[in-house]
Chain A
Amino acid sequence: MGRAPSPAAALLLLLLLRAERLRGAELTFELPDSARQCFHEEVEQGVRLSLDYQVITGGHYDVDCYMEDPLGNIIYRETKKQYDSFTYRTEVKGVYQFCFSNEFSTFSHKTVYFDFQVGDEPPILPDMGNKVTALTQMESACVTIHEALKTVIDSQTHYRLREAQDRARAEDLNSRVSYWSIGETIALFVVSFSQVLLLKSFFTEKRPAHRAVHS
């Protein structure tokens, strides 16, 4: 998990994720209110890319997201989504851009997680991919186990994010309960005290009029 720095007034930071020797990147970053953060990736043609994102903390836990190809066409656009998953097979080679926007929110800054995968996973040794013979049983068993463990790690990531989200809400609820109870105690004392004072003031004022009636 990491946080990207917020752009300074004079600079525009374009974050580009390297996909040369690995399949993609997972990042958790902070998106300030009324801000947009874009990420760019250089992708070949005919490659499958996928984007998963989830809002972890902030406001109504929703964010806008869109993805553009190198020619400027929007290939994916969603507004106010909490989490989504999107895959696409590239048609053009070039720099693809995807952006998360929190421009609709005026005061809640959000923490967003995304997992961007490009292509297939490269083999762990460079010459493994150049096999001419079929895999042995041991090797294909290893491949199967590796894929299964990847699924486990992916679902663990989703659980971890869910837990972070729920914990943020629970801690927020806890602090809100504290503040509200303190506030209400104060309000109670203030109201009961001022009720008595007000009532006393009514009868203190009327007294001269009351005496005037009698005499």
Chain B
Amino acid sequence: MRLGGNYRTQMWDKQKEAFLPSTPGLGMHVEVKDPDGKVVLSRQYGSEGRFTFTSHTPGEHQICLHSNSTRMALFAGGKLRVHLDIQVGEHANNYPEIAAKDKLTELQLRARQLLDQVEQIQKEQDYQRYREERFRLTSESTNQRVLWWSIAQTVILIVTGIWQMRHLKSFFEAKKLV
């Protein structure tokens, strides 16, 4: 699934008590991690940027943005306004661009949008199927663990009880109390 994001930053100007229209010199570092924790995208952008990536593994991806500017640290009580826009799947497509590139009529473009939506639905269904399998494995593992543990606990209890009695019996016999 494709994911596109773009952001814009604005720094708070304490003298003017307003946000500056743009912040030159301020960079943002964008890092994207896939569900296994592997870094998929790690790039430095300026105060405005646009990033895209395609996911290869289903699951929870992590998108982190942090500023790299040391100037910010000097302003106590400084504020940074971040405009963030993240689009996933079909929403990440730029339809005017697609229409121009493939020379589609309006109706063809609408049909293309519907096809993209259906593709997104299919991908989501595949994802759910994969998830259901994992979930079922986890539940069955829990079930097994509870079953084996109950049996093991009973066995341990009986064995410990027998050991206790035999040990104490031999102890009392040794002490000539029995």
Contact = CB atoms under 8 A, between A and B. Distances in A.
Interface of A: 1-3, 5, 10-18, 22, 25-27, 40, 124-126, 128, 138-139, 142-143, 145-146, 149-150, 152-153, 156, 159-160, 163-164, 166-167, 170-171, 173-174, 177-178, 181, 184-185, 188-189, 192, 195-196, 199-200, 203, 207
- Secondary structure of the A side of the interface? helix
Contact of B142 (A11, A26, A177): A177
B107 interface: yes
A10 B64 contact: no
Nearest to A42: B83
B72 A163 contact: no
A16 B82 contact: yes
B138 A25 contact: no
B102 interface: no
Size class of the B contact interface (CB-based, 8 Å): 35 or more
Contact of B73 (A10, A177, A178): A10
Nearest to A21: B85
Contacts, number: 159
B57 interface: no
Given A18-B83, A128-B106, A196 B157 contact: no
Given A12-B77, A124-B95, A150-B117, 8 more contacts: A11-B78, A12-B78, A18-B8, A22-B87, A143-B110, A167-B131, A174-B138, A196-B168
A12 B79 contact: yes
- Secondary structure of the B side of the interface? helix
Given A15-B84, A152-B121, A196-B168, A167 B106 contact: no
Given A16-B82, A139-B110, A181 B124 contact: no
Interface string B112-123: 011001101100
Contacts of B114: 142, 145-146, 149
Contacts of B107: 138-139, 142
Nearest to B138: A170
Contacts of A22: 85, 87, 91
B22 interface: no
Given A5-B65, A167-B135, A173 B84 contact: no
B62 interface: yes
A14 B7 CA distance: 12
A160 B124 CA distance: 8
Interface in B62-89: 62-67, 72-73, 75-88
A12 B78 CA distance: 7
Contacts of B168: 196, 199-200
